[in-house]
């Protein structure tokens, strides 16, 4: 599992050459900018908690994990198909936020808080969350909200100019009239805010209905979505009790629940349960997230020693690896592998524990096994390949460098946003004495991190050592010529 920060990335024109995927979050979680945030991010329920990033940054922390991402993609794939969205067109990120929430921030990205994954008891609950957010994406709610914002802003500006002109004209004959200017302008602002919030409530209900239709089309129950909204209704009951419904960005909980209860009751799939194999993967995913992200005490409460299930043992093995070291964790991890030798992520954990303990040679066999098992099961996880490549490079064995480069290139082709992979690839090329390719890999990694000017410097250095007109030279040339788009100012609420 990796924790990274993502920022601006590459333009669409670079896609054919090295599968770069553009993404820009702009400014994040600015307090006091509620209306701007409405146009930028549409959360499942509530605004995200207070500002967590340093002012001026345009990055957000995310969690990268092959197992978690593979499961979420399996949840999303049929929903995207039902909504007419290419699964490859949407990136889903996991945010290390303990609150139960999910949101879309661009037309190509969806975010799910770790709190939602941990608190969901069944796959169907998270599938319902993804269905709702898919409704936002399929109906272009971000684009429509931004257009609404522009329309309201223009109308308010025109109305403000007219109102101010009338006030000034009236003040010439009645000096006391000028004192009302602030009140008139404030009234215009309040009306614009109400228009935007009313529109936001409308698209939330539209996303609910769309999500239910995708669940129906894929033969899945809407019960999980209903459970989620009931949970959130309880959480927001006190907040919404005395709230003015016209000043809320989301419909009142009772309105959403009434819609869902009616629709779910009519569905022939209401009582349909998740397949046992999917439920098992979900339970393992929750155990993994708990083991990696929660305190020892919290994990012990979720998975007491009396719980001998595989997920509980998984959580305790990860906890031992985090707090007690690889040696103490080894027998617990080996017991997991003995119980399910075909689970690639148990082998990944074994390899990762060795790698982070400074024993990369020991990490190589289990990571090779993880990659082989995942590939045999139809998963071409870039992260597993990158982790194996790191172990091969860290081993210091020159005979393994070509294998490392191959795995890193394959991994980055599948996951071009993994900047850590480029850094390792640069080390591998440097070990072979191929400085041009090493500098190109460094440039690619810097660009993936949003460090455009630094990337250009490295790309120019790479071009000086690469054959002009070669594929590598052209990739470097793309970076040199790259012009970042203007800042959109979009943010996450």
Instruction: Print the SS3 string covering 203-216.
Output: HHHHHHHHHHHHHH
Contact 96, 117 (CB under 8 A): no
What is the predicted pLDDT for the residue at 493?
A: 31
Please state, in angstroms and rounded to a whole number, the distance separating the CA atoms of residues 113 and 263. Answer: 26
pLDDT tens, residue by residue, 295-341: 999 999 999 999 999 999 999 999 999 999 889 999 999 999 999 99
Would you kindly state where each structural domain of the chain is located, as residue ranges?
A: 1-120+123-273, 276-481
3-state secondary structure of 13: helix
What is the predicted pLDDT for the residue at 4?
A: 53
Q: What are phi and psi of 106, to 5 degrees?
A: -145, 180
Question: pTM score, two decimals?
Answer: 0.78
What is the predicted pLDDT for the residue at 483?
A: 87
Please state, in angstroms and rounded to a whole number, the distance separating the CA atoms of residues 421 and 415. Answer: 9
Q: Which CATH architecture has domain 276-481?
A: Alpha Horseshoe (1.25)
What is the predicted pLDDT for the residue at 272?
A: 95
Cβ-Cβ contacts under 8 Å for 307 (sequence gap 6 or more): none
3-state secondary structure of 460: helix
Determine whether 190 is exposed, middle or buried from the number of CB atoms within 10 Å of its CB (0-12, 13-18, 19+).
exposed
Please state, in angstroms and rounded to a whole number, the distance separating the CA atoms of residues 312 and 435. Answer: 47
**In angstroms, how far is CA 73 from the centroid of its own chain?**
12
Buried b (16+ CB within 10 A) or exposed e, 307-335: eeebbbbbbbbbbbbbeeebeebbebbee
Closest CA to 60 of 103, 100, 89, 90: 103
Tokens of 345: 């992520």
What residues in the chain have per-residue pLDDT under 70? Answer: 1-60, 148-197, 234-253, 485-493
Tokens of 190: 């309040």
What is the predicted pLDDT for the residue at 249?
A: 44
3-state secondary structure of 102: strand
Contact 455, 480 (CB under 8 A): no
Contact 38, 249 (CB under 8 A): yes
What is the predicted pLDDT for the residue at 34?
A: 36
* DSSP-derived secondary structure for 85-104: --GGG-EEEEE---SS-EEE
What is the predicted pLDDT for the residue at 259?
A: 84
What is the predicted pLDDT for the residue at 180?
A: 46
Please state, in angstroms and rounded to a whole number, the distance separating the CA atoms of residues 17 and 20. Answer: 8
Closest CA to 136 of 190, 224, 28, 208: 208
Closest CA to 7 of 56, 60, 47: 60
What is the predicted pLDDT for the residue at 84?
A: 95
What is the predicted pLDDT for the residue at 252?
A: 56
Buried b (16+ CB within 10 A) or exposed e, 92-114: bbbbbbebbbbbbbbeebbbbbb
Please state, in angstroms and rounded to a whole number, the distance separating the CA atoms of residues 176 and 186. Answer: 18
Contact 11, 22 (CB under 8 A): yes
Tokens of 228: 């989620």
Q: How many CB atoms lie within 10 A of CB 20?
A: 23
Closest CA to 43 of 126, 121, 132, 107: 132
């Amino acid at each position: 599992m990796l924790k990274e920060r993502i920022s601006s990335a590459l333009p669409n024109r670079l896609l054919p050459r090295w599968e770069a995927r553009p993404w820009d979050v702009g400014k994040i979680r600015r307090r006091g900018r509620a209306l701007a945030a409405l146009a930028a991010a549409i959360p499942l329920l509530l605004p995200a908690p207070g500002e967590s990033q340093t002012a001026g940054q345009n990055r957000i922390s995310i969690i990268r994990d092959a197992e978690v991402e593979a499961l979420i993609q399996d949840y999303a794939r049929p929903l995207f198909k039902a909504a007419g969205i290419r699964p490859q067109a949407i990136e889903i990120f996991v945010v290390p936020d303990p609150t139960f929430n999910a949101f879309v921030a661009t037309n190509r990205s969806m975010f799910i808080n770790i709190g939602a994954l941990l608190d969901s008891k069944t796959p169907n609950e998270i599938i319902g969350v993804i269905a709702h957010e898919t409704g936002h994406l399929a109906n272009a709610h971000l684009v429509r909200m931004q257009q609404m914002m522009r329309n309201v802003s223009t109308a308010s500006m025109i109305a403000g100019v007219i109102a101010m002109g009338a006030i000034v004209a009236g003040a010439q004959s009645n000096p006391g009239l000028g004192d009302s200017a602030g009140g008139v302008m404030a009234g215009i602002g309040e009306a614009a805010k109400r228009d935007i919030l009313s529109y936001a409530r409308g698209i939330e209900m539209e996303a609910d209905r769309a999500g239910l239709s995708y669940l129906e089309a894929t033969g899945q129950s809407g019960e999980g979505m209903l459970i989620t909204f009931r949970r959130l209704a309880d959480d927001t009951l006190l907040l919404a009790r005395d709230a003015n419904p016209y000043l809320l960005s989301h419909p009142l909980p009772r309105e959403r629940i009434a819609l869902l209860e009616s629709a779910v009751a009519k569905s022939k799939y209401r009582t349909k349960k998740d397949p046992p194999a999917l439920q098992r993967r979900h339970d393992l995913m929750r155990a993994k997230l708990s083991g990696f992200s929660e305190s020892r005490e919290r994990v012990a409460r979720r998975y007491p020693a009396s719980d001998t299930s595989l997920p509980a043992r998984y959580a305790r093995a990860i906890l031992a690896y985090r707090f007690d070291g690889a040696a103490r964790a080894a027998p617990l991890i080996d017991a997991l592998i003995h119980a399910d030798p075909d689970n690639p992520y148990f082998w990944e954990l074994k390899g990762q524990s060795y790698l982070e303990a400074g024993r990369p040679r020991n990490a190589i066999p289990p990571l090779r096994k993880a990659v082989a098992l995942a590939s045999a099961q139809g998963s071409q996880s870039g992260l597993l390949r990158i982790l194996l490549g790191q172990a091969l490079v860290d081993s210091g064995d020159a005979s393994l460098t070509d294998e490392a480069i191959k795995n890193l290139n394959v991994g980055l082709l599948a996951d071009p946003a993994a900047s850590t992979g480029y850094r390792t690839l640069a080390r591998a090329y440097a070990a072979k004495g191929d400085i041009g390719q090493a500098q190109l890999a460094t440039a690619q990694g810097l660009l993936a991190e949003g460090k455009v000017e630094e990337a250009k410097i490295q790309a120019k250095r790479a071009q000086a050592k690469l054959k002009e007109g070669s594929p590598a030279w052209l990739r470097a040339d793309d970076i040199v010529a790259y012009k970042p788009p203007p800042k959109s100012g979009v943010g996450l609420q």
